[in-house]
Chains A and B, each alone.
Chain A
Amino acid sequence: MAEEVHTEGALDAHTGGPDHGEGGLSFHPMDQFIVRPIFGENGDPVHWYTVTNATVWMALAVLCVLGLFVLGTRGRAIVPGRIQSIAELAYGFVYKMVEDVTGRDAVKFFPYIFTLFLFILFANTLALLPMSFSTTSHIAVTAVLALAVFLTVTIVGFVKNGTKFLGLFWVSSAPLVLRPILAVIELISYFVRPVSHSIRLAGNIMAGHAVLKVFAGFAAIAAIAPVSILAITAIYGLEVLVAFIQAYVFTILTCVYLKDALHPSH
């Protein structure tokens, strides 16, 4: 995965490399997405074991989730403290979502869905820190998450329903003439799911961070600096919202896909 990430970063590097030289603050808005090794020179080869800024920020997201839940469940107080109530709120929020959207029998998938939600939420939120690296802006990262969901849904569907799972593509409520056409459309839409699932998250985060950097570039021009700083503040607020909503959307779509696997009746 690290190598994929590297090629994606290198792609940006060779066309729109850092534009140093002429004083002032000039940089390329896509430079923030370049994957760099933490130790060693900038152009060093990236292997699967190389510690890059992407892996460091993903590990930090995992550590934050761990910290929240280790500290949150340590006291187990009846009247929860600050950390415990955040942990309880997150748990209750996702549990209710799984129950409402997928149904009671899907609760055994709750740990997986909760992990997805927390990882994406923390990765998105940590990416908003200044000088940080936005891991979820890379399609290589989100594609792995989305493919895992896709494989889970497909395997669960076939294990649970056997060949009846193929009824998902055979719309029995439609007229017989239309059914083959609908089957093709359903098949395409089924296999496009992991693509749209991953690109939605990566595209949203990438677009937001690129816009932030574009306005940061305008801040170097004295005449429009105040406007640009106000715009950065407003867009930053929007990005905080987007960070949460994209985690929510990713999770709820996982629930919807799981519902198809558990109850494929069309």
Chain B
Amino acid sequence: MELEAAQALGQYAGAGLAAIGSGLAAIGVGNVAGNFLSGALRNPSAANAQTATLFIGIAFAEALGIFAFLVSLLLMFAI
């Protein structure tokens, strides 16, 4: 295989693999939101005070997905 073709192949395959990370982050965000909801339905009076914690948890879980997305963008456009 030519060197450039191999490089392009690696670039696109790597970008696709990195995109898996975004999907995995979605699982994490779903876990956070789902557990919040199941907790909130058991004790609705305590739920309002915890919305800030919910968003912080979602933000931390989401950040890693965004990193994966960024890696795939870098592979596609920057290298």
Contacts and interface: CB of A to CB of B under 8 A. Distances in A.
Nearest to A197: B63
B63 A248 contact: no
B1 to A, nearest CB: 22
A172 B67 CA distance: 31
Interface stretch (A11-19, A54-62, A128-136): A11-19
Nearest to A200: B63
Nearest to A201: B66
A180 B52 CA distance: 31
Given A203-B69, A203-B70, A16 B52 contact: no
B72 to A, nearest CB: 11
Contacts of B67: 196, 199, 203
A5 to B, nearest CB: 15
Interface residues on A, range: 20 to 34
Please report whether the interface of chain B is mostly helix, strand, loop or mixed according to DSSP: helix
Give the interface size class of chain B. 10 to 19
Say whether chain A's binding surface is mostly helix, strand, loop, or mixed: helix
B65 to A, nearest CB: 9
Interface of A: 11-12, 15-16, 30, 97, 100-101, 196, 199-200, 203-204, 206-207, 245, 248-249, 252-253, 256
When A and B form their complex, which 8 residue pairs have the shortest distance between CB atoms, in order from nearest?
A203-B66, A249-B59, A196-B63, A200-B63, A15-B77, A200-B66, A203-B70, A11-B78
Given A253-B59, A256-B56, 14 more contacts: A15-B77, A30-B77, A101-B52, A196-B63, A199-B67, A200-B59, A200-B63, A203-B66, A204-B62, A204-B66, A248-B55, A249-B55, A249-B58, A252-B52
